[in-house]
Structure 1
């Protein structure tokens, strides 16, 4: 605006008008902008084939690392010596970069989507604490699982089983390389026997190869098909599991303990109270896991998040919380339930006496860790936690660490178990970890800060508007507008001229 080009009235219109406009804009941004932008962001979050959320959900944009720790049985040869406890040494980590991709997507009219998760692992030697060729001694799961299933059968049949076990590769422990234990697999003579013997008492054996993750790498069928809510129509349902392989109950544990709910850990409900626990379901754990609010906050890449973690109640079997009694297998109720601290995986593991717990039996009853030596639980290193930004429901850091162990019980009728102590042998620890990268953090910070940015912008507009109105009022009161003096002089001259004219006219009227 050029003051020389405008009269005083035009200047007033411009300044008073601009001040009013900026003040109104400021009030708009302060009062209405936060709610409007929050509404826009929340409407953009649900999962659709064209949403921004979809691209980040279909293939996770941040690196995930699976850290595998194996437990080396260092004194397996001495286990039958009286008073010698089995000793296990945790070796690793053996680190694999994990890529996740959702396959075979099917969108449904009820605002759900079905998919199959595919995970692909790539060896990261520089991040690892050992080589894939490291030799590790581990209890022989096939032999011990078969022996456990024969524990209570008649002695004559049991004697026949013992002979077959001894003649066909049965063993208390075996030694193989890390790569064989994890992905590559190895030929197992006893599995071959079980696969070809057609024993009606034995479960169906599909292969004579053994590995913890055999045929798992790059498989899109291993974990099954999940159906989750997209959040369309109800943002509070976003990411919630509705079905797994077409069912809403695993069938492995009774009642609520087998019911599917929560998240697959890739998508969470936004804008939940920070005190609300996180519930996730991971196929390998055979159960949901509740992560409790710890009250601790962390700042990661400039974003505040809250910590959710396993607690002494997570792997309870009813001793701490009666509602958790359903994690005790039906055939062990009511008086033979496992002590608190580990979930019996037998129902989903063909009866094998395997247990899921926090790493190093952290939080578990002493009866687990006291049977062997080598456990040294450390909260900072072994804790299972998620640090979550709750407004948009985005995990900032994840450390999903669980340990799988095997109950080995003495049995005087089976040679490999004769004269040994009863103990829980750790098999492996899996810890999937991830932390938000700078690129994704920048996008998240922008979305989180947009309401504040608008509010601060509104304060700026309001201040500018008030300043303009104050200046305009001052200039008006003091008659200091540009050109105001000339205007006033002209008005005075015009007024004097008018007065003179009026006087002359009055004189003329008197003379007439």
Structure 2
């Protein structure tokens, strides 16, 4: 299930014309039920399996706070991405861009339905780019949507380790679209994609284990560390793993993040992760919802966003540590647009440098079916039960053998006593025979 929350801008004109603080109204949740399936499975000879992931989304209006037809006002991401990218281009190019936007009547904010924002709408800039941009630089789509082309079997090919050759690699990605690593960053550790797709992890996890998940939209593998023990349905125990609090920290706070900033400095501020390298250079910054773990100044730069709540906005996965199975998950991410002011383009000349929130979503699993957790409980409890039963049986058998041994020992002792008594009795008879004379005949 995925829950979508959209920041609807309620004062777009005042913000652009008067420089007032933008005001947003958080709408949602808009709830979609997901069906996950791995298509075209092929088991390879090197202990891996290759498949095409499929995610099908069905809108559930009964669980939603509105309809897909609800109209929202949001920043024009294609336009603002183009203007921000042109900031360091030649001035005549920026002026030409302003003229084109005038002709096409493109504005910094768009009014679209929730369904269009998520699944796609025709954008004049993308349509123009299709005709004028060189073939090798063309975008692979003609419409814009935050989840465009995701409601189907994707073209992405994933190969996972089955664990047949090495159980510690079970469920981890070997290749993504034929690549063993990403091509974006300056160090191998940042390009590494040896991680789970989020559904299953290697078994025998401990509280010291660091697990990783990879999604192409995250543009990296995300580490998660142990937070606490939890109990799932059917009393199945699990470990809760969450991203470290410094996972999106600035390079000043966490120097290990420097390799995620190949074009910097400047790099993304603390609490944000720059995914522009995976989004056709669009200035998209990811954060946790409501700017959780970011400086509060980014939240207060926009009016209408409540303070972050760790329980509502934290990212976590509950994993059964013995089996490595995901039992519950809440993957919560916010999508933001880093807008740069470009004074030569009149449409955005008054648009300040700002990290503008667009939407946030919660994708995850509330729990596994009772039948599955029942089997899991059996799987993790049978070995100890069997061990206890076997120990009991062995103890009983040992006790019986001990009793038999003692009984046989006592019986053997009694027999030995009888054997020792017989010679004494014969000796006495011999003496009597001596008294009676030869041949046992009476002596007169």
TM-score by length of 1: 0.76
User: Are 2:166 and 1:234 equivalent residues in the alignment?
Assistant: yes
Shift of 1:250: 1.5
Which string of whole-angstrom CA distances, capped at 9 and with x for unpartnered residues, describes residues 319-353 of structure 1? 2221111111x33x2x3112121111111111111
- What secondary structure is seen at the aligned counterpart in 2 of 1:80? helix
Shift of 1:416: 2.0
Alignment match, 1:402? 333
User: Are 2:352 and 1:421 equivalent residues in the alignment?
Assistant: yes
User: 1-side partners of 2:221 and 2:48: how far apart?
Assistant: 20
- What secondary structure is seen at the aligned counterpart in 1 of 2:153? coil
Structure 1: unaligned runs, 5 residues or longer: 1-64, 480-490
Shift of 1:262: 1.4
User: 2-side partners of 1:275 and 1:312: how far apart?
Assistant: 16
Which string of whole-angstrom CA distances, capped at 9 and with x for unpartnered residues, describes residues 204-244 of structure 1? 145442222223212231xx111221111211111222211
Provide closer, same or farther for how the CA distance between residues 195 and 291 of structure 1 changes in structure 2, counting only shifts above 3 A: same
Provide closer, same or farther for how the CA distance between residues 135 and 129 of structure 1 changes in structure 2, counting only shifts above 3 A: same
- What secondary structure is seen at the aligned counterpart in 2 of 1:284? coil
User: 1-side partners of 2:126 and 2:136: how far apart?
Assistant: 11
User: 2-side partners of 1:258 and 1:233: how far apart?
Assistant: 24
Alignment match of 2:298 (pick from 368, 372, 380): 368
After TM superposition, the structure 1 = structure 2 runs for residues 112-511 of structure 1, keeping only pairs within 5 Å, are 112-183=48-119, 185-196=120-131, 198-199=132-133, 203-221=137-155, 224-255=156-187, 256-294=189-227, 296-301=228-233, 302-328=235-261, 330-331=262-263, 333=264, 335-375=265-305, 376-434=307-365, 435-465=367-397, 468=400, 510-511=440-441
User: 1-side partners of 2:439 and 2:374: how far apart?
Assistant: 86
Provide closer, same or farther for how the CA distance between residues 416 and 312 of structure 1 changes in structure 2, counting only shifts above 3 A: farther
Alignment match, 2:4? 68
The answer to whether the 8 A contact 1:317-1:343 is kept is no
Cα RMSD (Å): 2.8
TM-score by length of 2: 0.87
The answer to whether the 8 A contact 1:410-1:422 is kept is yes
Shift of 1:473: 7.5
Provide closer, same or farther for how the CA distance between residues 244 and 178 of structure 1 changes in structure 2, counting only shifts above 3 A: same
State the structure with bigger RCO (CA 8 A, min sep 6), 1 or 2: 1
The answer to whether the 8 A contact 1:145-1:353 is kept is yes
